[in-house]
Structure 1
Amino acid sequence: MPRSSPHPSALFSLRPYNDEKQRGKGVVEDARNSHLVSAHPGGGFALDVGFNIRSKSSTTTLATLGRGDTDIHISGGSIARIQCSFEVDLQTGIVMLYDRSHSQTTQVFGEFATPFELGRSRKVVVQKNLNTIIGMGGVGRNLVMFELIWHQNPLETMRQVNDRYQKIGDYEENPCLACTIVDDTETVPPTRAVTRIHTPAGRAQPLRIRYAKIPPQLGAGTYGVVHRAVDVDSGKLIAVKILKRPGSPNLQQWRVQLKREVDFLSQLDHPHIVPLIALQKWDEPEVEIIMELQHGSLESLVTGKSFDKQELQQIAVLVFHHSLQALDRINLLGLIHRDMKPANILFKELHGQYVFLLADFGLSNHTSVAHTFMGSPVYMAPEMFEKGCQQTHKVDVWALFVTMMWTLDIGGFRQLVEKAKSLGDLEEIRKEVLSGARKPNLSSIQEMAIEDPAKRASAAQMLVKCFNGEGLSTPRNKIAALIETPSTVPNVRRDTQPDGRKVAARVSLRTGTSSLLPQTRSRARNAGIKKLQNKAPGPMARYLIPMPGNFPEEDAKP
């Protein structure tokens, strides 16, 4: 007996489409598929596909379709034993359609379709408003056709998939196919991912990345917008920065700035710098920069979630360490960022922990030619306000110090930043930064907030001082000694508790004083801290805190 409405665990339903010869209707009426049938609100019946099926293929397969030992049976000599399958990407929660037929007789249709193409892998993303009609069999791949009726929008579907794979259960067995093994010798799935290679000029160019936007957009600026999207051929989430080509008076400057960002990112391969995936449509009205999608920005993380003081300190230490590594790397290349701020420090969740990455290099420049007034004024170093003054990587060090003040909200600093509107306000912020550097809160890193850039610390020097050089790109023999005043040198030592347990000293960004943290599993768990590596820590040892939750709504732009 068909269900009166779609199964609550189904992600979508397959309704017969363009069914003049009623082949699709025959599939729905096949007794072997009867346990999947439900009445469609628009009339007729459909097959429910999702977590109501326990597929015999694999845990990531929602359903297989074909004339063989499959989850949904389709009769006919033009249909392969395993014609196609719906599978999920466990990293993203995206649903994909795989063509499993040797003769490649599965295809997608519709207004917003991205068909299987020569040179691409035989899989595409399926979601609401994308590849909503599938066909199979025959030369036209249209002997049997179905329309995919989705029950949620793409973001909700992704959340539903991710939640479901965290708790397996409530699957509905196919009574005809229970405890059987799929014989897929006729349709072996592809095992090798398609790799896009950047080829030199004159050779065949790589295939353009096809993507579908996932609303809402992530952000907008002077030059364009940034969208959350999915690569329809891989199922991976990406960020797409779409830049509108300006009018002729500004075109040359625009080209130079865009080329600067792309050239900059193409030189970098660093765990704390957002990687560039591709630049495409260079000769079209809208140019696309495609980058790896992150979970959010430091700004959205700190302002969007509630953290106690201890958690905020731990986040600040992570941001500080990861950002120093990124700045040291770009300095080694003779480059500067010039727009370091909380909105341009992104984060992702990796193995349950935060990882911070530096992004948005549109204002980056080589140290030999950086003279212009650019960046976010609140975070700009004093020398950036001086006309014609040559800028160095030290401007990024100043900006990171200001970012730490904002993160820890030293003396209500965030509110001061939010209210800054005039040059007078900026002068007030500069004084507050200099004052903050002298306070116990941040005195252990005050070398970053020295007005004279020649005397200001470098990122490499701070990595050596605070983290024993962990994450350095600059060779140690190239790093000048950091001049420290006795009042600011942290009292760092290793000691033991009365019971003999070893403890590690670390500096608190909040207090600027040493504190003892027993290196025991129970204490670390109770404090919500997870130590990354069993090595002797520096004055500001590297700690991570568990992610309080995922932030899909906080996905951030590159």
Structure 2
Amino acid sequence: MPSRRREGHPLALFYLVAYDNNQNAKDALAHSDNRHHVWMREDGTLALDIGFNIRSRSSAILATIGRNDTDIRLHRPSISKLHCSFEIDLHTNVVMLHDRSFHGTTQVYGENATPFEHQRQRQVVVQEDLNTVIGMGGARRNLYQFELIWYRKPAESMEMVKNRQEISRGYEDPPSLIRTVFDEGDTEPPSRRETRPHTAGPRQKMRYATIGPPLGSGQFGTVHKAVDADTGKLMAVKILRRPVAASGQDNWTPSQYHALKREVEHLSELDHPNIVDYITSQGWDGPEVEIFMGLKAGTLKSLLESGNCPTVAESVFHHILQALDCLAMKDIIHRDVKPENILWVLLPDGQHQFQLGDFGLCNRAVTAFTTVGSPIFMAPEMLWKGEQTHKVDVWSLFVTMLWTLDAGGFRHMSRKFKSVGETQEAVQAAASNLDVVSKIQEMAVVNPLERASAAQMLVKCFNGAGLSTPRNRVPALISTPAVAAAERSPSPVSSSLAGRSAPKNLRRPEKNANMWTAQKRIEKARYPPRAQSPGLRSIRMGEGNASG
């Protein structure tokens, strides 16, 4: 018999060793049927590699384990012909353990185990620090016990799975390593799908594991990339920790608690391709609240700052208009539209799909009254303590487009604004003077009653494509002299948003400054501020982010 290898196979993802000195596991590792996948560690113990070193006709199966005609053979009679298998989720590139045994005698153990349970599918994710011990056979499911030891961190393992075909090139295994084909009739267990929210049946706790470092953090918690331990699907989880009060007790203030509940309630009733998808939430009675949402590739801000992206302005504009129109139909105001809160995914055709996310400041129009949001993107009525409507978000999207197009050097200039009033004067100057946004300047009208709605802009710019509002309920745009002049320009909207040249330095000419000041005075007289409300110039940058 040839000597044992002294190192793992370069194509392996992890290896199995006998757990807790389990003798049956030791015998299986030493058996001649499994010798091609086994190597000897420095301490003399045997390890069995599992990964792309074990070839199969199926691209989704890493290895099968059973009594015969499987990749790894266990010889005790209580083991099923096909007992379990390690398989790849081809959509997410995670590895899952499937229980294929006749009597359901496969189980997982370990500190962070998510064991097989009634009413859940007989499958679980396996990765470093998750489901690290497996047992098979016998009434206690521990006749054989193996420990899984991974060569790489979860994110690195997923990347290797993703690039498996390229990585496997150049390796030729002897015929003895190629798997035999097992009986397909024994591979499908009965369906035991996990019950999700909004379906009949008892609700079960979401079981998950985080992957890699946090995606972001805030005052009360962090956002992580995570994997659903039962389905293998990737998602984002916002973990919010109760703040510790002076008394030493963990608790939310009433406004914080209601803001969180409001975010979840509003997200749960929204179903739109351009709004981040809500999955579920849990832990409201515990020390941590977990909110699960669809995982995205990144934010608009990070995409544009990377410099490695095609022109996306028109797609951003169209997609977020659709999201805002959907919100308006639900009487919901987002109140924090900005590049950091616009997420994206790459579609199979290579196009970007943009989605509006982070609904932490959203509210119903009838109950929205506090000054919240990011100062640069705030609408004037937010500072005047005026009535808040869905037009608040339209103004914010206009400013977002200035930032996206970097119209007149807006990105650099926005870092120097000292007050919200200064920001809003620059926005007005841009709407009046920059050709690149001249076709959408109705979104930057100070008076919210005369400002365009998302539905109106969808009709004007995209012939109503993507409307949630019925077309016959979309009123005509209110025309002003400046808008009428822009309408006479022959330039199409699409070319304006595709990045036509704009002035390098955005300055507000005096004649336009006087015009804007007069307009501001008229609007303040028409919509007087509430008592003790701050003026535009009294709100300093970075203030005005109250909750509620």
TM-score by length of 1: 0.83
Report whether the alignment pairs 1:455 with 2:455.
Answer: no
Partner of 2:242: 245
The separation in 2 between residues aligned to 1:184 and 1:90, in whole angstroms, is 19
Partner of 2:368: 370
Q: Which of residues 194, 201, 205 in structure 1 aligns to 2:202?
A: 205
Report whether the alignment pairs 1:408 with 2:405.
Answer: yes
Partner of 1:79: 79
The separation in 2 between residues aligned to 1:43 and 1:349, in whole angstroms, is 48
Q: Which of residues 325, 337, 340 in structure 2 aligns to 1:340?
A: 337
| 2:435 and 2:496 in contact (8 A); partners too | no
1:164 CA displacement: 1.5
Cα displacement string for residues 305-333 of structure 1 (whole angstroms, at most 9, x for unaligned residues): 434xxx2xx31111111000000000011
- Which deviates further from its counterpart, 393-402 or 174-183? 174-183
Partner of 1:286: 288
Distance 1:50 1:418, change over 3 A: farther
1:429 CA displacement: 2.0
| 1:240 and 1:290 in contact (8 A); partners too | yes
Partner of 1:436: 430
| 2:321 and 2:454 in contact (8 A); partners too | yes
Partner of 2:30: 29
Report whether the alignment pairs 1:477 with 2:472.
Answer: yes
The separation in 1 between residues aligned to 2:262 and 2:281, in whole angstroms, is 12
Q: Which has the larger radius of gyration?
A: 2
The separation in 2 between residues aligned to 1:335 and 1:455, in whole angstroms, is 19
Partner of 1:16: 18
The residue type equivalent to 2:377 in the other structure is: Y
1:384 CA displacement: 0.6
Report whether the alignment pairs 1:45 with 2:46.
Answer: yes
The separation in 2 between residues aligned to 1:511 and 1:185, in whole angstroms, is 61
| 2:122 and 2:192 in contact (8 A); partners too | no
- 1:7-406 correspondence to structure 2 within 5 Å: 7-21=9-23, 23-56=24-57, 58-165=58-165, 169=169, 173=173, 175-176=175-176, 178=178, 180-190=180-190, 193-198=193-198, 205-246=202-243, 247=245, 251-307=253-309, 311=310, 314-351=311-348, 352-387=350-385, 389-406=386-403
Cα displacement string for residues 141-199 of structure 1 (whole angstroms, at most 9, x for unaligned residues): 11111111111100111111111156764566573475742114345344674442436
SS of residue matched to 1:488: helix
1:24 CA displacement: 1.6
Identify unmatched segments of 5+ residues in structure 1.
494-503, 514-558
Identify unmatched segments of 5+ residues in structure 2.
503-548
SS of residue matched to 2:253: helix
Cα displacement string for residues 416-453 of structure 1 (whole angstroms, at most 9, x for unaligned residues): 23344x42xx3332222112112111111111111111
Cα displacement string for residues 267-292 of structure 1 (whole angstroms, at most 9, x for unaligned residues): 11100101111111111121111111
Distance 1:207 1:258, change over 3 A: same
| 1:51 and 1:170 in contact (8 A); partners too | no
1:477 CA displacement: 0.8
SS of residue matched to 2:212: coil
The residue type equivalent to 1:361 in the other structure is: F
**What percentage of residue pairs aligned between the two structures are identical?**
51
Distance 1:509 1:188, change over 3 A: closer
The separation in 2 between residues aligned to 1:105 and 1:240, in whole angstroms, is 32
Q: Aligned-residue CA RMSD in angstroms?
A: 2.3
- Which deviates further from its counterpart, 173-182 or 106-115? 173-182
1:409 CA displacement: 1.4
Partner of 1:418: 415
The separation in 1 between residues aligned to 2:274 and 2:190, in whole angstroms, is 32
Distance 1:260 1:166, change over 3 A: farther
Q: Which of residues 494, 511, 515 in structure 1 aligns to 2:500?
A: 511
1:385 CA displacement: 0.5
The separation in 2 between residues aligned to 1:55 and 1:172, in whole angstroms, is 13
SS of residue matched to 2:124: strand
Distance 1:31 1:175, change over 3 A: farther
The residue type equivalent to 1:136 in the other structure is: M
SS of residue matched to 2:13: strand
Partner of 2:540: none
| 1:198 and 1:206 in contact (8 A); partners too | no
| 1:54 and 1:171 in contact (8 A); partners too | no
The residue type equivalent to 1:284 in the other structure is: G
Cα displacement string for residues 330-389 of structure 1 (whole angstroms, at most 9, x for unaligned residues): 0011111000011111111221321111011111111122211001111001111113x1
Alignment: residue pair count: 489
The separation in 2 between residues aligned to 1:398 and 1:178, in whole angstroms, is 62
| 1:67 and 1:79 in contact (8 A); partners too | yes
The residue type equivalent to 1:510 in the other structure is: G
Cα displacement string for residues 19-65 of structure 1 (whole angstroms, at most 9, x for unaligned residues): 342x2222222222222112324542211111111125x21100101
Cα displacement string for residues 450-479 of structure 1 (whole angstroms, at most 9, x for unaligned residues): 111111111011111111111000011111
The separation in 1 between residues aligned to 2:138 and 2:22, in whole angstroms, is 16
Higher helix share: 2
TM-score by length of 2: 0.84
